[in-house]
Structure 1
Amino acid sequence: MGIRIRKISSYLPKKVVDNFYFEKILDTSDDWISSRTGIRQRHFVEDEGMMDLIKKAIGKLDLSQDEITRVKTIVVATCTAFHAIPNLASQVQGEFNFGEDIYSLDINMGCSGFVAGLKLIEGMLKDGEYALLIGAEVFSKVLDFEDRSTVVLFGDGAGAVLLERSEKDSFFSSGTRGNKKVLNYGHDSDRLYMEGREVYKFAVSTVEKSIAKFLREIDIEIEDIDYFISHQANIRMLESMAKGLGVSMDRFPANIDKVGNTSSASIPILLDDMNREGGLKPGDRILMTGFGAGLTWVLAYMEW
């Protein structure tokens, strides 16, 4: 037994910020940014907050009254919540009038958060129940707009999925390598700080090896995976991981050129894009990979 995605949606703020904006305020260029990251634009909030993004993503799920009644777990994955109490998941319960028999919590595993939420929910969800998992980030409020190596990477957005039990097996793997320096916000920096080179090396070495090891452990061949759905951090990272695994880039889909790095929202936003464009079909075998701050990584295998 495992879990499956019953419904999926995403929401991006209307304001689009292309690379030419940063040419005006920093010593950088569209070519420099896009050639090194694959990013050409990202979305930033204007008069919206975190809950606005979450509410709009959930609203686009178009939940029926039966689905609302059967939701028993709400998880919000984010690393840019701007208050500690109350948690965002409990606010979702109130905003959408879910029942009070709800287990609600927020989790912060940075860019690993969405896949970590899947793993958590898989161990909690009972037959006949649904769970709501949201990945949402507002990075534009925590970026250092004088740091050209970091500010150009991130965007705002939210993605939401409705999950249910499946007869098909799901498998998970995760890891942690404590490092409070290379990627942090609020530890010793009042703005998001990242040592990009170190994070890059972590992703293309540890994460790539973890994917291969995970597939061996669950006895699934690399060629049997239809899509490797990775956190959208940097197109060069994805290309390097695909090459190392011997996988073509058409099986390593990307939308980072349009949305940038949206951390815990990146995977549901990508999946929603693919689903709306008809790129996913029932039975597709998917390996999802989240990795980032902590440092952490989480892998999930499931069928669409």
Structure 2
Amino acid sequence: MEDLQALLDDIHTTLSARDDKGKVATYIPELARIDPAHFGIAVIGVDGTEYMAGDAELPFSIQSVSKVFTLTLALGKHGDSLWNRVGREPSGTAFNSIVQLEFEKGRPRNPFINAGAIAVTDLILSGHKPREAIGEIVNFVRFLSGDDTITTDQAVAKSENATGFRNFALAQFMRSFDRLDHPAEHTLGVYFHQCALAMSCRQLAHAGLYLAANGRNPVSGSSVVSRERARRINALMMMCGHYDGSGEFAYRVGLPGKSGVGGGILAVAPGKASIAVWAPGLNDYGNSLLGTAALEILAKRTGWSVFGL
């Protein structure tokens, strides 16, 4: 395998020169302000070695990448009873679609589409006030990353709350089927804040390292989840982590991954490394255009695809 730092530098140089960088998300006003020229990548090996290129230490809104961490947290609190609320199958529809939710009587298809993530957040809220639940999520991500400076971008959270009409519709629809225990505005207040977590590629790669190392953080030595649960979360990321573009991502990259409309992607090379990329311009599926291309090159040239060379 070639030198990782040289490889990341080459990927960054090559892709930064592309004219087509995708289009930033505009339905969240704060995200529409982001310069699409930003591009960063970080790889943290299971031995703790760090490799970075570009804007790897510039914080950005991780958006739906946060769903990996809230799923992990909710499974720790509620165990497999969580699956009574949400399924484990690919959706085949847009991340904010209400059509499938109606057909399946308010039970979201998986925890990574918006409806499923809202259901997961509702479980985290159990026994807490919204502010306490937000604090628990932030503290959990700080624990995973080993970085107490991580916080939420309040401007992004406010922007999402002001414009998240489709998410309010999804939450109210689930509440009508008794799929949520709390008022929609409480659950969504927590959900918007988790999506507004601001992290750099370096921090994000560190936070996802437990999924590359059988449920343990090899840097801190902390146990996060069991080996079996880490494997299952990775499986869900592979099948559902890129919405209705998950099959295309698996075909091209071959790694478990979770994207966000802020342009971030967390990818996992089991037994090898945790990888985070950020490029705000999105493709037609709502996933980072340059980020996906970077991961495709990285997986090919390292041989890290779970499907082999």
Question: Normalised by the size of structure 1, how large is the TM-score?
Answer: 0.27
Structure richer in strand, relative to its length: 1
Structure richer in helix, relative to its length: 2
Question: Normalised by the size of structure 2, how large is the TM-score?
Answer: 0.27
